[in-house]
Structure 1
């Protein structure tokens, strides 16, 4: 989901259905404001969250939305699904249809899930180049050993995609519970890595994305908007 960025003159030309020459005159007459300031540059950059007025009439006033959810098991990380309930279905808010998911969790996984209408913000958190760390608590069927720590740290080669995973940090919490920190998120990556040891994953729960921790006050299925501090911390 990409951020909708562009030039002010192009936006006004389409929105008000006038030519570029008339846009220049409109700006010269100081009739347009962007984010509370008089706009004078025709090539001023705007995005979908710029507050734009013409003669004190609002043309655009979209608000950026950032939501944290404690995703429960059995709910799909999708906006629509014919077979399962989706995370969008769990939201009780009028703008939910305009939100997209930032880094999915599969049907049987739980924990921190982020939703937004800000494509630039979500791209910053999910782009492989950013190497944002995601932390998971993993419950396994069989006991862990030092061998797991070394294998995760070295990276694992998957022939099907012809890729080697980036080094991952595995910490043993109890004999069958581990904390895994990744900077990538390939298809079923954690389950496949433990699969190398023929050790089935029983529970997979995401604890954090970058500096953003799952709010312990959120019960499974509950959500809340991010605070201003949390948004600033996770903005790239």
Structure 2
């Protein structure tokens, strides 16, 4: 999701459905308050969290919000869906008006850590591949694992359909049928497709960490909580696989 930054005069013109010149006149006449202060510059840059009032009318007052959800299987990573239950429906009433979006989706049957926010810059900093944030998954497989998997994941896989090679991923064998996979990408069904090269179906997939944010083990499936200040701030820090 792109950051909602832009000029105040363009915001007013769009929100109030008035000509740009009229919006600029309102600003110059001191009729517009930004965060409680009169604005006189028509090209002043605002974002989604700037409090905006015009002639006593409140046009925008959004507070940054950051949520952690323990996503259950069978729920889609979307804010709206005509056919399926969405993750947004699992959040409390207070979150329903916060204009949340998902920072890094999970497939319908994948469980685990899902992050939701209304802060576009924060979302981009944690979900974009260029952000280099490691995602940690616990994978349960139908067939036994071997050391050959470790080397193959570290080398990367070429996908003909997209014409791409996946970035190196770390695979740690936990038991014969269970492994932890750590990667920075999130391509379409990527983990299932990588194990598919070994004709080894994924039975269950669970994400338990993104960057330095770890799924709270006190959250049952379907439960959520706001992120702590430390968790929010950790997105600006470098993450390393462990």
The question of a shared fold, defined as TM-score above 0.5 by the shorter chain, is answered with yes
Q: Quote how far apart the aligned CAs of 1:53 are.
A: 4.2
Asked if the contact 1:12/1:23 (under 8 Å) is kept, the reply is no
Number of aligned residue pairs? 232
Q: Quote how far apart the aligned CAs of 1:58 are.
A: 4.1
Asked if the contact 2:27/2:40 (under 8 Å) is kept, the reply is no
Asked if the contact 1:32/1:38 (under 8 Å) is kept, the reply is yes
Q: Quote how far apart the aligned CAs of 1:205 are.
A: 0.4
1:147-204 superposed Cα distances (whole Å, 9 cap, x missing partner): 1110000001111211110000111112221111111111111011111111111110
Q: Quote how far apart the aligned CAs of 1:102 are.
A: 1.7
Q: Which runs of 5+ in 2 are unaligned?
A: 238-242
Q: Quote how far apart the aligned CAs of 1:60 are.
A: 2.4
1:91 aligns with 2:64: no
Moved more, 83-92 or 158-167: 83-92
Q: Quote how far apart the aligned CAs of 1:59 are.
A: 3.9
Alignment match of 2:28 (pick from 24, 28, 44): 24
Distance in 2 (alpha carbons) for counterparts of 1:136 and 1:228: 24
Q: Quote how far apart the aligned CAs of 1:11 are.
A: 3.4
> C-alpha root-mean-square deviation of aligned residues, in Å?
2.3
1:92-129 superposed Cα distances (whole Å, 9 cap, x missing partner): 22442622222111121100011122222222222222
Aligned to 1:228: 229
Asked if the contact 1:138/1:179 (under 8 Å) is kept, the reply is yes
Distance in 1 (alpha carbons) for counterparts of 2:6 and 2:26: 18
1:61 aligns with 2:65: no
Q: 1:19 to 1:185 in 2, by over 3 A?
A: closer
Moved more, 222-231 or 50-59: 50-59
1:81 aligns with 2:73: no
Secondary structure at 2:112's aligned position in 1?
strand
1:44 aligns with 2:48: no
Q: 1:52 to 1:81 in 2, by over 3 A?
A: closer
Asked if the contact 1:13/1:23 (under 8 Å) is kept, the reply is no
Q: Quote how far apart the aligned CAs of 1:25 are.
A: 3.6
1:95-110 matches, within 5 Å, as 95-96=95-96, 98-110=99-111
1:139 aligns with 2:121: no
TM-score (structure 2 length as normaliser): 0.85
Moved more, 154-163 or 51-60: 51-60
Secondary structure at 1:172's aligned position in 2?
strand
Distance in 2 (alpha carbons) for counterparts of 1:189 and 1:113: 17
Q: 1:190 to 1:24 in 2, by over 3 A?
A: same
Distance in 1 (alpha carbons) for counterparts of 2:47 and 2:23: 20
Asked if the contact 2:103/2:127 (under 8 Å) is kept, the reply is yes
Distance in 2 (alpha carbons) for counterparts of 1:24 and 1:231: 37
Distance in 2 (alpha carbons) for counterparts of 1:14 and 1:142: 57
